[in-house]
A and B are shown apart, each in its own frame.
Chain A
Amino acid sequence: MSKIYIVEDDKSIREELAELLRNSGYEAECLTDFSNSKADILSAHPDLILMDINIPNLNGEQLLKEIRKESDIPVIMVTSRTSETDEVLSMSYGADDYITKPYNPTILLLRISAVLKRAAGNTSVQSYNGLQVNDAKGSLTDGSRDVILTKNEMIIFRLMLDRKGSIVTRDDLMTALWDNDEFVNDNALTVNISRLRSKLAELGCNDAIETRKKQGYVLK
């Protein structure tokens, strides 16, 4: 379980954020006393830091600079300031990503998992039920047969595969598609899922994707 450290001075956001992360299967720890931020953060040994720019004492950018002197823990900067300066500055100080408040929680989770994956050296699942996922070719293969997936189908399949056995909501799927520059509507998602189903059936995986009414889909 990855441990995420929340550096945020707004109590309400901090608590909701911790709840969001815990619900999504992360361990969340918060900084509540900002007098000795750097030492407190580093001694907690988190896997990722969510850092607000506007915090008491040392601001987020300076804190990031200090942390970078000693550690290369992944850091996502979060801010309510919408100016290009902050983004440029944060990235140059070594932030891994930058998100503006108010953020879409699903996007935040996607970004967190992307940054964690990058830091771990991409260890995503490469096989499903005897099928190999070939990202370079964008295809699924069972050794003898090769089925090409479209970009959308691959995005959907990847997300479901990463969360195999648990429910993936339509909202999650939509967010993942939109985050990959595929701005489709609801109808297109339905079509994509049914195409993915028939392609999986072609490879001998019948009923691989189960529909949960009003909740989403589960890859069995």
Chain B
Amino acid sequence: MKLGNYLRDRLWYYLIAAAALGLMLLFLAAYRVSGQLIIFITSIYLISVFFEELTGYLRKRQFYAELHQKLDELDQKYLIHEMINKPDFLEGEILYNALCDANKSMCEKVAEHKRRSDDFRDFIEMWVHEVKLPVASLQLMAHNHRDELGEKFTEQLRRIDDYTDQVLYYARSKNAEKDYIIKETSLKRAVANVAIKNREAAQLAGASIETEGLDITVMTDGKWLEFILGQFMANSLKYTVEGREPVIHISAEKLEDRVLLHFRDNGIGIPESDIPRVFDKSFTGENGHTYAKSTGMGLYIVKNLCDRLGHGISAASERGSFTELTIAFAKNDHYLI
């Protein structure tokens, strides 16, 4: 609160005070009061106005300065009333009470939305587990009646499973609660699980997978990592070069402070201008328009999961020759017991 602003705000009061003083002097003069007394009365009047204004200004300035400062520092500004002292002047009190009421209603609204989104998430989680039962059942049927149904049928089932997993992990990546377990996870085992799960798809594409140096453990959640690698795998099998035998090369590299997991394919690659945006939500890029339709959600969810787990992720590619995605796992002793 600047002094100038405060004075301007009080202009009407000063005008009235000046008018009152003028009127008073007029009466005093009319009653022929002595000049000395007039000066004395005027001084008392002016001094009292001055001190009254000064204390008023200081009280308000202290409150508003604190309010502004706290507001700047606060990350969640709607919590401001928790941070300030209750003011000792009327207008401040009115404002303070209004803030409290507004905040209370805001908190109720937030809680309601949180409850709704939690409900929805719980439902999604439950739904995904339920829908996996008929998928499992169909998969067994397909196997028991292989002659009629065969691998193409199984492959479509795997796609359904893949999309339901996307929903599950999207819900998980958006939730504030910690529902992952970071523990020592073998890269070899995670890669093997993902490979086995995608065997039919890989076989249909004629792809082979090479691994190198995966006998390393990293600190991560195994299931989340498998989902992430599954998304990479699905992309690599989708964007292959016609006439070239697809090869996926998965290798791990141990650096001083982190472990890098490289996932490289020999597919169509990503145009250079699209690379910075591959992790954006709903970004499909040129490949998504030209080759196979994509939702643009896979890598976006992957990025979210990596952020939550504290892993780094980056993409590199050359058009028509390769795409390489790299996950960086911190060697964090903090997690070790």
Q: Are A16 and B196 in contact, with the CB atoms below 8 A?
A: no
Of the listed stretches B40-48, B56-64, B207-215, B294-302, chain A binds: B207-215
| Cα(A44)–Cα(B211), bound, Å | 44
| Cα(A175)–Cα(B192), bound, Å | 12
* Number of B positions contacting A (CB below 8 A): 42
With A84-B183, A183-B195 known to touch, is A105 a contact of B140 (CB < 8 Å)?
yes
Helix, strand, loop or mixed for chain A's interface? helix
| Cα(A83)–Cα(B133), bound, Å | 16
In this assembly, does A70 line the interface, its C-beta being within 8 Å of a C-beta of chain B? no
Closest Cβ–Cβ distance, residue B160 to chain A (whole Å) = 9
Closest Cβ–Cβ distance, residue B144 to chain A (whole Å) = 5
Residue of B133, B195, B196, B208 near A13 (CB, 8 A) is B133
| Cα(A83)–Cα(B172), bound, Å | 11
In this assembly, does B135 line the interface, its C-beta being within 8 Å of a C-beta of chain A? yes
Contacts between chains A and B (CB distance < 8 A), count: 101
Q: Are A20 and B151 in contact, with the CB atoms below 8 A?
A: no
Q: Are A83 and B223 in contact, with the CB atoms below 8 A?
A: yes
Residue of B133, B136, B199, B206 near A178 (CB, 8 A) is B199
Q: Are B136 and A103 in contact, with the CB atoms below 8 A?
A: yes
In this assembly, does B306 line the interface, its C-beta being within 8 Å of a C-beta of chain A? no
Closest Cβ–Cβ distance, residue B136 to chain A (whole Å) = 4
Closest to A183 in B: B209
In this assembly, does B129 line the interface, its C-beta being within 8 Å of a C-beta of chain A? yes
Q: Are B132 and A102 in contact, with the CB atoms below 8 A?
A: yes
Helix, strand, loop or mixed for chain B's interface? helix
As a 0/1 sequence over residues 135 to 148 of chain B, the CB contacts with chain A under 8 angstroms (1 = contact) are 11111110110000
In this assembly, does B291 line the interface, its C-beta being within 8 Å of a C-beta of chain A? no
Most B Cβ at <10 Å: residue of A16, A102, A105: A102
In this assembly, does B222 line the interface, its C-beta being within 8 Å of a C-beta of chain A? yes
| Cα(A82)–Cα(B183), bound, Å | 16
With A54-B129, A185-B208, A187-B206 known to touch, is A84 a contact of B221 (CB < 8 Å)?
yes
| Cα(A12)–Cα(B192), bound, Å | 29
Q: Are A19 and B144 in contact, with the CB atoms below 8 A?
A: yes
In this assembly, does B168 line the interface, its C-beta being within 8 Å of a C-beta of chain A? yes
Q: Are A179 and B196 in contact, with the CB atoms below 8 A?
A: yes
Q: Which size bracket describes the interface of A in this complex?
A: 35 or more
Q: Are B143 and A101 in contact, with the CB atoms below 8 A?
A: no
Residue of A88, A105, A174, A181 near B199 (CB, 8 A) is A174
Closest to A104 in B: B196
Set of chain A residues within 8 Å of B183, measured between Cβ atoms: 84, 88
In this assembly, does B252 line the interface, its C-beta being within 8 Å of a C-beta of chain A? no
| Cα(A88)–Cα(B223), bound, Å | 11
Set of chain B residues within 8 Å of A106, measured between Cβ atoms: 143
Residue of A23, A54, A181, A184 near B192 (CB, 8 A) is A181
Q: Are A183 and B136 in contact, with the CB atoms below 8 A?
A: no
Within 8 A of A (CB), among B51-89: none
Closest Cβ–Cβ distance, residue B165 to chain A (whole Å) = 7
In this assembly, does A85 line the interface, its C-beta being within 8 Å of a C-beta of chain B? yes
Closest to B140 in A: A16
In this assembly, does B188 line the interface, its C-beta being within 8 Å of a C-beta of chain A? yes
With A104-B197, A107-B196 known to touch, is A12 a contact of B134 (CB < 8 Å)?
yes
With A10-B133, A84-B221, A103-B139 known to touch, is A23 a contact of B144 (CB < 8 Å)?
yes
In this assembly, does A33 line the interface, its C-beta being within 8 Å of a C-beta of chain B? no
Q: Are A183 and B134 in contact, with the CB atoms below 8 A?
A: no
Within 8 A of A (CB), among B119-162: 129-130, 132-141, 143-144, 151, 157, 161
Q: List 16 A-B contacts (CB under 8 A).
A: A10-B136, A16-B140, A20-B140, A23-B144, A80-B129, A81-B129, A82-B165, A87-B222, A102-B157, A105-B144, A107-B196, A174-B203, A181-B192, A183-B210, A185-B202, A188-B208
